Structure 1
Amino acid sequence: MSKQAQQTVLAAELPERGQPLAGGVFVTRYWLNGVERALILLPDELSGPWGEYGAEIKDAGCYSDGEANTRAMAEAGSVIAIKALELDGFIPSCLEGQLLMAAKADGLVAIREDRFHWLSSQRSANYAYNMGFGVGWLLNLDKSHERLARPVRSLPIQ
């Protein structure tokens, strides 16, 4: 990393949804763990398996906190999770994936529709959640299959 990513954003400096912010596109405001945050879709596209089929990763089952899930995935050796963190981003959770789908449906962001995208929320030892952005499907699929991942960044709003 050549420079450190932006760590917070002032509410008065938030752009309109769909406009550039912190190296990506501002998706929406949302609340996570009692903190209002700005969700940002990064331009990078990663590809690979979520993890190992049959290996449950402790602390990667959160439906809302993609950053915590991605950190747990990386600690367990997930290559796409490590790559996302190296970009100062993370793989979105189910909640964050649905916020991306809403922004895509509103025409604010562009996300590939021809392949399923990994979400960081683990379903079980064998499955993790995926989002099909073409029609908005939320599925759980075999963790060992190769899928895309679109990293995001989440900044606390001050």
Structure 2
Amino acid sequence: MTKQAQQAVLAAELPERGQPLAGGVFVTRYWLNGVERALILLPDELSGPWGEYGVEIKGAGSYSDGDANTRSMAEAGSVIASKALELDGFIPSCLEGQLLMAAKAEGLVDLREDRWHWLSTQRSADSAYRMAFEGGWLYYNGKFNERLARPVRSLPIQ
């Protein structure tokens, strides 16, 4: 039997930032596409290339919507995107990566500092954005490179 993932969270039931929520750690509240949401860092760590070098993926260029980016990546054959979706999560966008960095800087979440992490925001047919959680560096790199990906989940706040 498959466990049904939590689909939303009541505002009155939100824990303090840095506390457990929906299988991960509650990072922060944020607005996306006109909906207030709770960003949750999942405990899983994935590794692999972002996707195929030289192939631009339509729908994977959002700087704010990691879920939409990740779904587009998976449809184009990205293994790490498919794995993130199997966890009922997604690879964070540039915005969501910055929110993770802010929570890390405040001591609310633990993120590896020894490796670059993929973000789901595509820069071009050849590259996608990556982040170093050592100091919050945001840059881009060839999609074929092996990097970590730390999935997140986002729930509407009701």
- Report the TM-score range of the alignment, normalised by the length of the smaller protein: over 0.9
Q: Hey, what does 2:57 align to over in structure 1? A: 57
Deviation of 1:2 after TM superposition, in Å, equals: 3.2
User: What code does the residue aligned with 1:69 have?
Assistant: N
- Within a 5 Å distance, the mapping from 1:118-137 to structure 2 comes to 118-137=118-137
Deviation of 1:25 after TM superposition, in Å, equals: 0.0
Whole-Å separation in 2 of the counterparts to 1:93 and 1:126? 17
Whole-Å separation in 1 of the counterparts to 2:145 and 2:53? 9
Whole-Å separation in 2 of the counterparts to 1:11 and 1:77? 36
Q: Hey, what does 1:12 align to over in structure 2? A: 12
TM-score (norm 2): 0.99
User: What code does the residue aligned with 2:85 have?
Assistant: L
Consecutive aligned runs of 4 or more in structure 1 exceeding 6 Å deviation: none
Deviation of 1:4 after TM superposition, in Å, equals: 1.9
Whole-Å separation in 1 of the counterparts to 2:121 and 2:38? 19
Whole-Å separation in 2 of the counterparts to 1:19 and 1:123? 33
Q: Deviations over 1:12-71 (max 9, x none)?
A: 000000000000000000000000000000000000000011000000000000000000
Whole-Å separation in 1 of the counterparts to 2:4 and 2:78? 23
Gaps of 5+ in 2: none
Give yes or no for the alignment of 1:44 onto 2:44.
Answer: yes
- Within a 5 Å distance, the mapping from 1:1-150 to structure 2 comes to 2-150=2-150
Aligned-pair RMSD on alpha carbons? 0.8
Deviation of 1:150 after TM superposition, in Å, equals: 0.3
Q: Matched residue pairs, number?
A: 158
Gaps of 5+ in 1: none
User: What code does the residue aligned with 1:59 have?
Assistant: G
Whole-Å separation in 2 of the counterparts to 1:110 and 1:97? 13
Whole-Å separation in 2 of the counterparts to 1:123 and 1:4? 34
How many percent of aligned residue pairs carry the same amino acid?
Answer: 84
User: What code does the residue aligned with 1:47 have?
Assistant: S
TM-score (norm 1): 0.99
